Amino acid sequence: MHDIRGGAWWRGAAIYELYVQSFADGDGDGIGDLAGVRARLPYIANLGIDAIWFSPWYPSPRSDAGYDVADYRSIDPAFGTLADADALIAEGHAYGIRTIIDIVPNHCSDQHRWFRSALAAPPGSAERARFWFRPGRGDGGDLPPNNWRSIFGGPAWTRTTAPGGTPGEWYLHLFAPEQPDFNWANPEVRAEFEDVLRFWFDRGADGIRIDSAALLTKDPRLPETGPGDPSPYSDRDDVHDIYRAWRAVADEYSGRVLIGEIWLADAARLARYLRPDELHTVFNFPYLCCPWDAVQLRAVIDSTLEFHAAAGAPATWVLSNHDVDRHVSRYGRADTSFGLDRRDHSQLVDLELGTRRARAAALLTMALPGSVYVYQGEELGLWEVEDIPDERRQDPIWHRTGGADPGRDGSRVPLPWAGLEPPFGFSPPDATAQPWLPQPKEWRELTVEIETGEPDSMLELYRRALEIRRAEPALGDGPGPGATASAMTWLPAPDGVLAFSRDGSPGDNVCCVANLSPGPVTLPAHTAVLLASGPLADGLLPPDTSVWLGIPAGP
């Protein structure tokens, strides 16, 4: 097995986010599945990936695309069986690919057996104490217990109906009503999830991606919130107790990693999750959200490295995932920044510009110290599909905001593998159903088949970059233990240009230059051009282009 730094493989790994229902459909029902993944493992291995993070694969009514889990110890029948998952983990390991699974601990599905028994049990029961049930306010309890809003729009409380049809208590859901929040003050909830972790570690999972990791604990008083108030449910100090316990579980095994999905602007607060007895890494969302601007990117890179170095943890570098607009589209707009609360599909998208920048961003990102994520399809240069017909949209965000927020379906469209027409090889030729989200016909230019072996394709750029990144000791986490902070050095560069070196063993340094300025720039002294995101013009680096150079070792 390809082993990156032995037990700490995750420090410099290239991790592929595999969104199961949109990767490959093995049985022709229009929904991706584990058989589809198993058949395409050679593709992922050939891309140069060290680990796959699978989006939730559990039984689920799919009110939130699987982030509403009905059973944490099983596989959705639409995806396959537990035996398929076991086989997939083993086959991945045979290719040197590790498995990271997605655990959703803030909430479950309203079809989870615990929530069903809570609904059947009376107020004040032990069954209801695993969730947040409360009487309503006002006459007859008609008003929700407080003014909290769902992250998906609308109130964060839904009223239950008691047997006989009379209105009953309300329950809390920070996301959709079909996703009731667990009460993490309840020891049964804690014990249950520690058992779930062991269940998957015992089956060979190498890591856990922790969904909504900062939201688990709530202020038990459930206070009203007003502008400027500290959040009663995000990033509370007591959430860290949970991760200390989870780290102890992970440490019962070897080489297992805990990765937090934490959207926090405050780097100091984020760093607290990386304390030595908590999580190993967290997703770097400030980098993802940053506009295509040299000054702002440099500031995000510096602050990322600074707080990770202090924590002794490796940084992560992420350009896209299943919750955000694909970066080809983001970088092709007039406003290249991104925020979860301001998705804007009304802006014009220059796909040619966005693609050129996405190529440059890939080399910039893969040269930075730490681990890197690739969201399925970014290696093909897929863009955000902004014109999905309303009747085909699935995302609860779109539905709960009445379409004011376009939602996330456009980043989740099934992959194009081959051929000239949808489903582009996503489903087998004898498929009985269309892909669960429609694919644009223009993706005939972006199939794996078309891009394979085509030197200028996004796919070949990713393959080559990941290959060099794996082979060059200066790249990835860099040499030496905990080298994150010292492993890159900014080099003098004109305005709008990012240039830095990664220091390997003597004579083995790599330099990355990303030109975000409007004009071509000269390259620093180098011994070799290792890889460029676009053609150099008379030895100059054109705008929106990046290059990796071999450079002489410093004195």
Is 211 tagged catalytic? yes
Beta-strand relationship, 14-18 and 371-375: parallel
Q: Which of 211, 323, 378, 451 is catalytic?
A: 211
CB atoms within 10 A of CB 419: 15
Q: Which one of 23, 67, 243, 548 is in contact with ligand NOJ (CB under 6 A)? A: 67
The residue (of 385 and 511) whose beta carbon lies closer to ligand NOJ is: 385
The tokens of 415 are what?
Answer: 């992959």
Q: Which of 114, 27, 22 is nearest to 73 (CA)?
A: 114
> Is 104 a binder of ligand NOJ (CB under 6 A)?
yes
Cis peptide before 481 (omega within 30 of 0): no
Q: Which of 181, 186, 23, 202 is nearest to 107 (CA)?
A: 181
> Is 127 a binder of ligand NOJ (CB under 6 A)?
no
> Is 110 a binder of ligand NOJ (CB under 6 A)?
no
The residue (of 105 and 534) whose beta carbon lies closer to ligand NOJ is: 105
Residue whose tokens read 């584990």: 34
Is 442 tagged catalytic? no
> Is 313 a binder of ligand NOJ (CB under 6 A)?
no
Site for ligand NOJ in 158-177 (CB under 6 A): 175
Separation between Cα atoms, residue 366 and residue 461, nearest integer Å: 11
Q: Considering the complex, what minimum distance in angstroms separates the CB of residue 282 from ligand NOJ?
A: 13
> Is 323 a binder of ligand NOJ (CB under 6 A)?
yes
Separation between Cα atoms, residue 422 and residue 30, nearest integer Å: 11
The residue (of 68 and 379) whose beta carbon lies closer to ligand NOJ is: 68
Residue whose tokens read 């396959």: 80
The residue (of 322 and 357) whose beta carbon lies closer to ligand NOJ is: 322
The residue (of 22 and 212) whose beta carbon lies closer to ligand NOJ is: 212
3-state secondary structure of 372: strand
Q: In this chain, which residue has its C-beta nearest to ligand NOJ?
A: 67
Amino acid at 512: C
Separation between Cα atoms, residue 215 and residue 173, nearest integer Å: 11
> Is 182 a binder of ligand NOJ (CB under 6 A)?
no
For 106, 119, 373, the CA distances from 470, given in Å and listed in that order, are: 35, 52, 14
Give the rounded distance of the alpha carbon of 278 from its chain centre: 19
Q: Considering the complex, what minimum distance in angstroms separates the CB of residue 501 from ligand NOJ?
A: 35
Separation between Cα atoms, residue 331 and residue 17, nearest integer Å: 20
> Is 235 a binder of ligand NOJ (CB under 6 A)?
no
Cβ–Cβ < 8 Å for 290, 283: no
Q: Considering the complex, what minimum distance in angstroms separates the CB of residue 212 from ligand NOJ?
A: 5
Q: Considering the complex, what minimum distance in angstroms separates the CB of residue 409 from ligand NOJ?
A: 11
Q: Which one of 22, 183, 212, 394 is in contact with ligand NOJ (CB under 6 A)? A: 212
> Is 215 a binder of ligand NOJ (CB under 6 A)?
no
Q: Which of 3, 142, 252, 456 is catalytic?
A: 252
> Is 64 a binder of ligand NOJ (CB under 6 A)?
yes
Phi-psi bin for 529: left (phi > 0), alpha (psi -120 to 50), beta? beta
Catalytic residues: 211, 252
Binding site for ligand NOJ (CB under 6 A): 64, 67, 104, 175, 211-212, 261, 322-323
